[in-house]
Structure 1
Amino acid sequence: MSNAAPASRRVNVRTPEVMERVQAEVETHYRSPLVETIRAQGSVLQIGSTTVRLAREFGFCYGVERAIDLAYAARRVFADKRVFLLGEIIHNPEVNRQLTEMGIISIPVGKHEEEVAKLTSDDVVIVPAFGAETDLMKLISSRGCMVVDTTCGDVMSVWKRVRGYAKGGFTSVIHGKASHEETRATSSRAIGDNGNGHYLVVLTLSDVDFVCDYIRKGGDKQAFLQRFSAASACSPGFDPDLHLTRVGVANQTTMLKSETEEIQRRLQKAIEDRDGAGSPNFQVFDTICGATQDRQDGLFHLLRQPLDILLVVGGYNSSNTTHLVEIGEQQLPTFFIRTAECLTSLEQIVHFDLHLKAEKTSYSGKLADTTNPITIGITAGASCPNNLIEDTLLRIFGLRGIDEAQVRAAAGLV
């Protein structure tokens, strides 16, 4: 008799009969004919003195849609089993609330190992769009669970790159947030299949300049390790004197592209200053998610239009949404709101302040004065459903004295 541990089973839930039902359900929850109509008409709706402009690109990307479809399908296919989700399927509270109401049990990020160790071969585990760390996937396998893997293809492309770096003896310098689920999953792949690889996670240009100074002239190794080890931003056994010799750059797919490109440029310059122009000790691949870039480009296009304020809708822990806020607030008053309910009145807007890292209430006289014309821009990240954009749009017009029937009529939905 074999005593081998059970192995996880990756299951395909995308059967035609299941997906037909699931897609209809997902559309009911998240689609907005009103938003789709406005976008088809140039992404502008003006009623009286109130104008709303939508970004050219926003909302769910293909990877997010696929992840949600698979999560819904898993619940339908395994109706009689316990279905668990590692953390959040995406960083949007509305979507995760829907999954909870469907009976999918979310395992908090800090308790993954503890809770997975209690699962059995009768349980189903959904891996979110961000992916999961290799050690956690091995633990799931040891429990023999059924696995529905919704990891985004763009994320897996980054994994392929960092595995390649490890195989070639390059340390992966990853632009991202060390604590983010995606970056943690990518870092675990940067160790390589043989466990010989290394990684370093940098978030800010200040981090990069610190690394570049060390590449050029060395420095205090302990200070270096203290800076990055304290944030779990480097691989076990990382030695900057050894592991910054050959560097390959990758990134969390949802970062600000212009910042990632600047990080690449600075690191390449540091390597070439040390080793000479055209040094083979530096590699880079473009691993920014296409949907992330499309939404950033869409916002840049929107900001070329006359706007009084900008609303960015989405989960406060959404990386790609956060970068849209950073872009907007450089040019005009920008408010990061979770839902339409954050627009509490004509005067008050409850929003997340990126600098304070907390929600606060601000006052907007422009929105409050209904006698003056106002133009409001709206955008959202790849994890925000269109129904939340519709709610926000209707709330804006409602606060300006224009009811839902008038909005739908103005958009041609009568």
Structure 2
Amino acid sequence: MSAPAPAARRVNVRTPEVMERVQAEVETHYRSHIVEQIRAKGSVVQIGNTTIRLARDFGFCYGVERAIDLAYAARKVFADRRVFLLGEIIHNQEVNRQLTEMGVVSIPNAEHEATVATLTPEDVVIVPAFGAETRLMKLIAARGCMVVDTTCGDVMSVWKRVRQYAKTGYTSIIHGKASHEETRATSSRAMGDDGMGNYLVVLTLSDVDYVCDYIRNGGDKEAFLKRFPAGAHSDGFDPDLHLTRIGVANQTTMLKSETEEVQRRLRQAVLDRHGPEAGVTNFQVFDTICGATQERQDSLFGLLKQPLDVLLVVGGYNSSNTTHLVEIGEQRLPTFFIRTADCLKSLEQIVHFDLHLKAEKESYSDKLAGDGPVTVGITAGASCPNNLIEDTVLRVFGLRGIDEAAVRAALN
């Protein structure tokens, strides 16, 4: 009988003394009194003919705050040791820069296994909020490293669900981005504890329709497997066998309305194939959109009911939940996805990320220019700190000829 795989040496760094110091440092880096004051005034501030409206809910969620707190705490507790981070703690350049300056070494995703293989029991590894693949966690355990696990509780809830699917013979259909850290971690759990489970990752409704057609009518197995990129399905995946009983889950940061449509279409395909009685037993679903993601999407819909001339979405370009806020905004009005306030070069010149080109570009807009009244909406994803929102607010007012002193005076 083979020996059980070694367990990771998870350590608790959340002692009262450490966390008191951590909270003070985190507040220094990321808190914004200006944002708090605007929120206290109904999330709107008007100075002259310039109005800024903030979404009701935006910025750090509990899971992100916890992950950052734990990373800061790890650096303090293990001040005399090497501390490594698997990739990024969250998808925000400013937060990851702060950790790098504190001496936390970020291991690029492509180098995870090679670097971990060189670590020692004296080293500390921080697992990011997205979690990590089971294969990598086993390697970390084998090296004997100490682990500070910041995985979000909502992500772990998804893992629990896909493990249950595998245990009961259901294939996990995961709505998400196959290359995203969270989805890769979830996919590894969908293999089950014995590694015999199966999964398929679908991103677009076009992907879903393709899968639904195969469920209803069958098709060319080879063409099916070519349709989905490497990592988007389990090894040995056979659509003729593994689409009979399916359970749906999702990356927690997807667009809620789209995930619901994915669930509806897959359920109907199973019912069409098996009939209403057998269809019910061959389909399972569990809503795994995280509450913070849903709140930020709902809040943006609320903000868009107000008269706005332009929407600024602030956050990391690789942040999934922020990307979906941009998609929502683009349907209604001119929307610019900016990393920081520095992207606002002038009243007309804006550097922003184009979701369709998948690249940063420079655009010229007359929405902020001129002497007439203008209303700017601002929101951010769950990985954006409030200090970056403050910078954006001050930048918009500054470009409109209103300095920081005038903004602070208007809020007092």
Amino acid at match of 1:237: G
Partner of 2:42: 42
Distance 1:40 1:290 in 2: 23
How far did 1:28 drift? 0.5
Distance 2:120 2:105 in 1: 15
Residues 1:355 and 2:360 are matched in the alignment: no
Structure 1 residues 357-372: aligned runs within 5 Å:
357-369=358-370, 371-372=371-372
How far did 1:40 drift? 1.3
Partner of 2:94: 94
| Structure 1 residue matching 2:367: 3-state secondary structure | helix
Partner of 1:306: 307
Partner of 2:339: 338
Change (3 A) 1:5 1:134: closer
Structure 1 residues 4-403: aligned runs within 5 Å:
8-228=8-228, 230-278=229-277, 279=279, 280-369=281-370, 371-403=371-403
For residues 303-362 of structure 1, give each alpha carbon's deviation from its aligned partner in whole angstroms, at most 9, with x where no partner exists: 000000000000000000000000000000000000000001111000000000000011
Gaps of 5+ in 1: none
Distance 1:365 1:142 in 2: 58
- Contact persistence 1:216–1:273 (CA under 8 A): yes
Distance 1:143 1:103 in 2: 21
Q: Which moved more, 1:230-239 or 1:117-126?
A: 230-239
Change (3 A) 1:6 1:252: closer
Distance 1:12 1:336 in 2: 37
Distance 1:261 1:134 in 2: 28
- Contact persistence 1:6–1:143 (CA under 8 A): no
Amino acid at match of 1:126: I
Amino acid at match of 1:361: E
| Structure 1 residue matching 2:326: 3-state secondary structure | helix
Distance 1:9 1:210 in 2: 43
| Structure 1 residue matching 2:368: 3-state secondary structure | helix
How far did 1:157 drift? 0.1
- Contact persistence 2:124–2:148 (CA under 8 A): yes
Amino acid at match of 2:264: R
4+ long deviations beyond 4 Å: 3-7
For residues 29-82 of structure 1, give each alpha carbon's deviation from its aligned partner in whole angstroms, at most 9, with x where no partner exists: 000011011111100000001000000100000000000000000000000000
TM-score (norm 1): 0.97
For residues 109-143 of structure 1, give each alpha carbon's deviation from its aligned partner in whole angstroms, at most 9, with x where no partner exists: 00100000000000000000000000000000000
Distance 1:167 1:334 in 2: 44
Distance 2:354 2:6 in 1: 47
Distance 1:226 1:300 in 2: 37
Amino acid at match of 1:271: V
How far did 1:227 drift? 1.2
| Total equivalences in the alignment | 408
Distance 1:153 1:407 in 2: 38
- Contact persistence 2:6–2:138 (CA under 8 A): no
Distance 2:24 2:304 in 1: 35
TM-score (norm 2): 0.98
Change (3 A) 1:336 1:326: same
Distance 1:103 1:8 in 2: 23
| Structure 2 residue matching 1:335: 3-state secondary structure | strand
Change (3 A) 1:376 1:267: same
Distance 1:187 1:137 in 2: 14
Distance 1:233 1:41 in 2: 46
| Structure 2 residue matching 1:336: 3-state secondary structure | strand
Change (3 A) 1:169 1:326: same
How far did 1:8 drift? 3.3
Question: Share of identical aligned residues, percent?
Answer: 82
How far did 1:232 drift? 1.8
Amino acid at match of 2:235: P
- Contact persistence 1:7–1:143 (CA under 8 A): no
Change (3 A) 1:331 1:6: closer
- Contact persistence 1:90–1:96 (CA under 8 A): yes
| Structure 1 residue matching 2:353: 3-state secondary structure | strand
Amino acid at match of 2:385: P
- Contact persistence 2:9–2:145 (CA under 8 A): yes
| Structure 1 residue matching 2:63: 3-state secondary structure | helix
| Structure 2 residue matching 1:368: 3-state secondary structure | coil
Gaps of 5+ in 2: none
Distance 2:7 2:182 in 1: 24
Distance 2:174 2:57 in 1: 26
| Structure 1 residue matching 2:323: 3-state secondary structure | helix
Distance 2:10 2:125 in 1: 10
- Contact persistence 1:8–1:143 (CA under 8 A): no
